Structure 1
Amino acid sequence: MTAEFLSLLCLGLCLGYEDEKKNEKPPKPSLHAWPSSVVEAESNVTLKCQAHSQNVTFVLRKVNDSGYKQEQSSAENEAEFPFTDLKPKDAGRYFCAYKTTASHEWSESSEHLQLVVTGSLPEPLLSVNVDPGMTPGLRTLRCLTPYNGTECIVIALLKMGIPEPLQVRQVRKNQTDFMLWNVTSNDSGNYSCVYYLSNSSHLASFPSNKLEIWVTDKHDELEAPSMKTGSSSEESTKRTSHSKLPEQEAAEADLSNMERVSLSTADPQGVTYAELSTSALSEAASDTTQEPPGSHEYAALKV
């Protein structure tokens, strides 16, 4: 009698454990954008939701849009939600969740992903902040926007090949500095910045000029000026014309008049400098093989 009672008790506990396991919420998935969460209008992007289990059903939703829902079943542990011919209305915050065949509940929601569609506001200007008193190993990239409204804006620093913005600032001014600490050769690459209204992410600017940065570990003599500026007619006609703020015009004038700027610090590893010049502009214009289409600037940093 005692053995039969113990068997029934064990069976009840096991069944209760199985029911509890079925009703347990699965851990939250991750949501990423490819190639980037900041993309141009009329381009394509894919939002990828990744779970902790296989053979699951995924759902993609949009914050503040209860009617938006995409659902997809997958034998793998991830699902891709493609977006084609992006429009400003596609911008916004997205999140995803999933449920397994064994569970009755959706998982916790993923972290929100901010999808920004550029091309609705005039482009900002990105430059290297040249300050002789700068801390060794620190460099500042300055994003200057033509926005002169009263609303709070979000400014994001982008690097080509990195899906998410490197840094994001929410400000009420038209100038923002992004700090690059302990600069190394890994910081080399193409940078740009964009901005959008904090309460209207579908109203995002065109990307700024591309600023290509080289960081070298060499300590020899400075080479020839390495900053070039230029823009293609295709990109110029694509973007809407706008009136620039006096601060932006002054910044552009400083860049155009700057033949050479050298920054030295007390860094024991050598001299840190940014070299900027427009002297090669006429040469680049005559040799189309050396200057890619689009607004592009170059700066060299030595550490």
Structure 2
Amino acid sequence: MYQFREKCYTKDLKEEKIGDSPLRDEGASLNIFSVYPSAGSHDKPSLSAWPSHIVPLGQHVELQCDSHSNYYKFKLYKEHGNPIPQIQGRSFQKKIVLDPVTSEHAGTYRCYGFNLRHTFKISAQSDPVKIIISGIYKKPFLLALQTPLVNLGEKVTLECRSEIMFDTFTLTSHKYGTIKDSLELSAEHHLGGSQANFSIGPVTPDHAGTYKCYGSYNHSPYEWSDPSVPIDIKITGGTQKRLGISKYGMCAKKKLQKDRSLNGNFESRDGKIIADVKYVKTELVRHMICWALL
């Protein structure tokens, strides 16, 4: 009688013994290996960084792994570079804080979930989250080549320059303190340093906001400079126009019919409900009326 050991490898490639089973045959003992199949994309958790994925050197970032499936524990790992002792081999419940961050924390992270009741069941990997560590290098300078007060439909160029020979400049736009978008350009080198010109437009109201730029090198793309002094871009030349509110129109009309004391005028124009906002209560305006700059 021979014995064979059945083994299974978990996601982090740790060998787990399932058990011994009798084998009636001739020849040497067999080692049988099996890998638990990965879950589908519907089982994939989501990974997010708070308050931002751009983290100043020495500050902290909270990484949160969420899943709609029945996973009680998660593991976080960094895809490339040196492992982070703070997370290496550790499991956590949804959140983990990296504090204080160093350049070693810069990189791409993923997480996956597992259930302690089912040792060999693990989720699919989350989509990657890039953690950028800023403050590694001296900040560049950002200036608007035209006035930062931009007329609707026109263009504005923001120039990011530095005395350091950066390979790449990244421009970020912020609204309400949150990063809304980012643009990346290869740097142009000259005797005085490096620069990149970001052309924005034709502008819409969505382009309004605060802009900053950072410099970095190709060999360490997740290690950025301090941010430049911000520039606020404001959009002018728009006029307020009443908009058709097909989504809320009937609801607003019913509201008016129920509240005869409300001083508001609604009229039908080309099949749409139009509101004369000057006479409508603030509460109704907030929930029912959509304004825009055109």
What is the TM-score normalised by the length of structure 2?
A: 0.54
Give 5+ residue unaligned stretches, structure 1: 1-21, 221-301
Structure 1 distance, partners of 2:239, 2:37, is 63
**Aligned-pair CA distance for 1:118:** 1.6
Deviates more, 1:107-116 or 1:158-167: 158-167
Secondary structure, counterpart of 1:39 in structure 2: strand
Counterpart for residue 99 of structure 1: 114
**Aligned-pair CA distance for 1:152:** 3.3
Pick closer, same or farther for the CA change 1:110–1:83 going to 2, 3 Å.
same
Counterpart for residue 121 of structure 1: 137
Identity %: 21
Aligned AA (1:206): D
Counterpart for residue 46 of structure 2: 30
Contact 2:79–2:109 (8 Å) recurs in 1: yes
Alignment counterpart, residue 168 of structure 1, candidates 183, 186, 192:
183
Aligned AA (2:123): S
Q: Any idea what the Cα deviations from partners look like across 1:276-299, whole Å, max 9, x if unmatched?
A: xxxxxxxxxxxxxxxxxxxxxxxx
Q: How many residues align?
A: 194
Counterpart for residue 19 of structure 1: none
What is the TM-score normalised by the length of structure 1?
A: 0.53
The structure with the greater share of residues assigned to helix is 1
Pick closer, same or farther for the CA change 1:192–1:85 going to 2, 3 Å.
same
Pick closer, same or farther for the CA change 1:179–1:73 going to 2, 3 Å.
same
The structure with the greater share of residues assigned to strand is 2
- Higher RCO, 1 or 2 (CA under 8 Å, sep at least 6)? 1
**Aligned-pair CA distance for 1:102:** 4.7
**Aligned-pair CA distance for 1:109:** 2.4
Give 5+ residue unaligned stretches, structure 2: 1-35, 189-193, 241-292
Aligned AA (2:109): Y
Aligned AA (2:233): I
Aligned AA (1:95): R
Counterpart for residue 177 of structure 1: 197
Does residue 1:206 correspond to 2:226, yes or no? yes
**Aligned-pair CA distance for 1:202:** 5.6
Counterpart for residue 77 of structure 2: 61
Alignment counterpart, residue 140 of structure 1, candidates 156, 167, 186:
156
Alignment counterpart, residue 125 of structure 2, candidates 105, 109, 116:
109
Aligned AA (2:215): Y
Task: Give 1 or 2 for the bigger CA radius of gyration.
Answer: 2
Aligned AA (1:168): L
Counterpart for residue 101 of structure 2: 86
Aligned-residue CA RMSD in angstroms? Answer: 3.4
Contact 1:55–1:73 (8 Å) recurs in 2: no
Structure 2 distance, partners of 1:169, 1:111, is 21
**Aligned-pair CA distance for 1:163:** 5.0
